[in-house]
């Protein structure tokens, strides 16, 4: 059943959860599926351009996993407002009207204009014609970023307590061709799937290897840690030495939708069915490894 949280997230839970114990050691989250644009968001670009930043339909594509026993957390706020897959330190100082009082990083994403709060879209279009105030940024962190991280941590802790291990899929989509400011490989033609575990640091390699083998057997082209290794959510929650395994999965949008209209095309049903089958296969693979 869905639990609606204004502005911050939507949580789809298996029947009986959390009254009963979790029924599977799998947790999914979709941090970039949000389409509810807050009233205080005042970018200088149109709504159509903003929507290109969304991972449109990703939460629905994975939603059958809920019936199989895996909770699915999805952001309702848009990625262009604040990105839950970035650290708070990944704040672009070029966006601010005064110095940030905390420590800032110089991560590659910030340099691309894709930090905690985006400075530009994938094609280089600036999002704002003004600077943002410190209190404005803090509001976005406190009302959106922090509740999302807190809820995901709670879901992962609950599954880990029940099973002794937890496997986490961080769900994303990618354009068929990388934009000029999307990655450090502009113009790259993307494969069907990219799996990211930050070069083995956020998961036992067996997790990604199982997913890659399964997808390839279904005829998909799969890359690992190139060009997407995983960012903040898998970094923050993936601790394989503690039995906490986080894997980012990027899906090529050409597989399921028209990238201009953002409408699903004829391939949508097949992909969704394949992701249901993958979720079921993963749960079967995980259960013998749990206590």
193-245 pLDDT tens trace: 999 999 999 999 999 999 999 999 999 999 999 999 999 999 999 999 999 99
- Per CATH, domain 2-289 is 3.40.1830.10: no
The mean pLDDT value for 131-150 works out to: 96
Say what the pTM is. Answer: 0.95
For 43-101, write each residue's pLDDT tens digit: 999 999 999 999 999 999 999 999 999 999 999 999 999 999 999 999 999 999 999 99
Q: Is residue 4 predicted with pLDDT exceeding 60?
A: no
pLDDT of residue 195: 98
Note the pLDDT of residue 20. 63
Average of per-residue pLDDT across 1-19: 69
Which is more confidently placed, 266 or 7?
266
pLDDT score at 291? 78
User: According to the model, what pLDDT value does residue 182 have?
Assistant: 74
Cβ contacts of residue 229 below 8 Å, gap of 6+?
196, 197, 198, 199, 248
Q: Mean of the pLDDT values across residues 35-43? A: 92
Residue 16, pLDDT score: 75
Q: What pLDDT, on a 0 to 100 scale, did the predictor assign at position 184? A: 76
pLDDT band for 185, please (50, 70, 90 cuts): confident
Q: What is the pLDDT of residue 15?
A: 79
The closest alpha carbon to 108, from 207, 2, 182, belongs to 182
Closest CA to 33 of 9, 57, 13, 50: 57
Question: How are strands ordered across the β-sheet holding 244-252?
Answer: 2-4, 9-12, 72-75, 26-30, 166-174, 244-252, 193-196, 222-224
> Which contacts qualify for 88-92: CB closer than 8 Å, 24 or more apart?
88/116, 88/141, 88/145, 89/116, 90/115, 90/116, 90/232, 91/115, 91/116, 91/117, 91/137, 92/116, 92/117, 92/119
What is the structure's pLDDT at 18?
67
Predicted pLDDT at 2:
40
Confidence of residue 3 (pLDDT cuts 50, 70, 90): very low
* Half-sphere exposure (Cβ direction) of 5: Cα atoms closer than 13 Å: 16
Quote the percentage of the chain above a pLDDT of 90.
86
Q: Which of 88, 78, 84 is nearest to 121 (CA)?
A: 78
pLDDT at 90: 97
pLDDT, residue 183, reads 76
Sign of the dihedral through C-alpha 78, 84, 88, 90: negative
**pLDDT score of 6:** 53
Is residue 211 within 8 Å of residue 181, measured between CB atoms? no
pLDDT of 150 reads: 96
């Amino acid at each position: 059943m869905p639990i609606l949280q204004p502005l911050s997230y939507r949580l789809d839970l298996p029947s009986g959860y959390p009254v009963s114990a979790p029924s599977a050691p799998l947790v999914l989250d979709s941090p970039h599926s949000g389409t509810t644009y807050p009233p205080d968001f005042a970018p200088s670009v149109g709504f159509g351009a903003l929507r290109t930043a969304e991972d449109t339909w990703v939460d629905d594509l994975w939603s059958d996993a809920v019936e199989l026993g895996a909770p699915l957390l999805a952001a309702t706020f848009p990625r262009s407002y604040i990105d839950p897959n970035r650290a708070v330190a990944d704040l672009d100082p070029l966006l601010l009207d005064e110095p940030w009082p905390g420590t800032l990083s110089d991560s590659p994403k910030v340099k691309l204009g894709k930090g905690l709060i985006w400075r530009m879209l994938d094609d280089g279009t600036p999002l704002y014609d003004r600077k943002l105030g410190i209190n404005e940024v803090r509001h976005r962190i406190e009302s959106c970023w922090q509740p999302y991280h807190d809820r995901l941590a709670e879901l992962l802790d609950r599954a880990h307590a029940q099973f002794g291990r937890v496997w986490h899929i961080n769900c994303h989509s990618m354009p068929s061709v990388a934009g000029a400011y999307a990655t450090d490989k502009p113009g790259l033609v993307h494969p069907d799937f990219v799996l990211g575990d930050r070069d083995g640091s956020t998961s036992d390699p067996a997790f990604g290897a199982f997913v890659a083998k399964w997808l390839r057997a279904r005829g998909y082209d799969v890359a690992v840690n190139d060009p997407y290794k995983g960012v903040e959510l898998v970094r923050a929650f993936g601790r394989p030495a503690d039995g906490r395994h986080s894997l980012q999965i990027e899906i090529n949008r050409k597989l399921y939708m028209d990238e201009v209209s953002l409408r699903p095309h004829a391939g949508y049903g097949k992909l969704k069915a394949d992701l249901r089958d993958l979720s079921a296969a993963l749960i079967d693979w995980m259960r013998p490894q749990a206590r």
